[in-house]
Amino acid sequence: MNELFRLDPRTTLATIGLLNVVMFSAGFTGGDALARLVFQLIPALLAIGIGRFWPALAYLLISLTALAGERWLLAGELSGAGVALAGVCGLIARLAPGLFLGYVAVVSIQVGELMAALERLRIPRQLVIPAAVVLRFIPTVREESAAVASAMSARGISLGRVGPLTWLEYRLVPLLISTVKAGEELTQAALTRGLGRPGRATRICRIGLRVPDAAVFALCAVGMGFWLVG
């Protein structure tokens, strides 16, 4: 996994915003369809940028199939099942780009960068810190969840043997307890290191808009252009 280019977190965040606007407001004909296609491709491009080729390919396959499937189904005669299938395809086509871009954002943005970027946007500290904590916490939840899954398996507790409700309880209770504990320890460590001091904290990580950011913005502009011209 080699990074091809690195984006400023602000670029990624702006792209998420624009993409969702287009996905949920654009139509399906003429320029709108082209706009949709452009924004459908952007998340894959960003994923390739951080070296996630296979996830990018899988995403493209799924979302483009869904997009094509919806158009094809809606073009023909519609039976009941056809309507349902078209609905599912439509949902995937609209949601997948946003979800996948969210995934790309989570794996690519580092906590330090996010804080620097948000502070540079003059977003108040009361929002910056929670945002940073959430981003920091996602991998922890994933780690803890995998550990609980192993623990259940090691104890011989499986879905088939205890039933869905109990199974869910046995998965969730330890997960909640351990993530709450991790959160508490994280807070203590952060407090003893001066988080929350009033006044502007300095940030050393070098964020800034560079060529890749300009390229992504240009691509977004093309997509928006198609949409606005219609």
Partner 1 sequence: MNFSYAAADAAALADFGLSVAPGEFVVLSGPSGCGKTTATRLLNGLIPHFHEGDLTGQVRVFGRDPAQQRIWETAAEVGSVFQNPRSQFFTTDPVSEIAFGCENLGLPAAVTRQRVERALAEFGLEPLRDRSIFALSGGEKQRLACAAVAATEPGLYVLDEPSANLDAAATERLRAIMAGWKASGASVVVAEHRLGYLRDLADRLLVLTEGRITGEYSGEQFRAMDDDALAALGLRRATPPLPPRSGTPAGPALEVRDLTYRHTSRKVPGGGSRRPRPALRLDRLAIPKGRITALQGANGAGKTTLARWLAGLSPGRGGQLLDEGRPIGRRERRRRVFLVLQDVNHQLVTESVSDEIAVTLRLAGPGGAVEAERDRILAAVDLSAYAERHPMSLSAGQKQRLAIGTALASQREIVILDEPTSGLDLAHMRQVAAALRRLSEQGRTVLVATHDAELIAACADHVITLDRGRVALQ
* Binding stretches for partner 1 (CB under 8 A): 1-3, 51, 106-113, 132, 136, 139-140, 143-144, 147-148, 150-157, 161-162, 169-170, 173-174, 177-178, 181-182, 185-197, 199-205
In angstroms, what is the minimal distance from the CB of 166 to partner 1?
9
Nearer to partner 1, 32 or 144 (CB): 144
Residue-by-residue DSSP string for 51-77: T-HHHHHHHHHHHHHHHHHHHHHHHS-
Asked whether 170 and 162 are in contact (CB, 8 A), the reply is yes
In angstroms, what is the minimal distance from the CB of 67 to partner 1?
28
Residue 196 phi, psi dihedral angles, 5° rounding: 105, 0
Hey, CA dihedral for 31, 37, 43, 49, is it positive or negative?
negative
In angstroms, what is the minimal distance from the CB of 185 to partner 1?
4
Report the C-alpha gap between 2 and 5 in whole angstroms: 9
Nearer to partner 1, 181 or 218 (CB): 181
Nearer to partner 1, 43 or 223 (CB): 43
Nearer to partner 1, 16 or 89 (CB): 16
In angstroms, what is the minimal distance from the CB of 15 to partner 1?
18
In angstroms, what is the minimal distance from the CB of 125 to partner 1?
11
Nearer to partner 1, 79 or 166 (CB): 166
Report the C-alpha gap between 45 and 173 in whole angstroms: 39
Find the DSSP H helices in 76-124. Answer: 80-108, 111-120
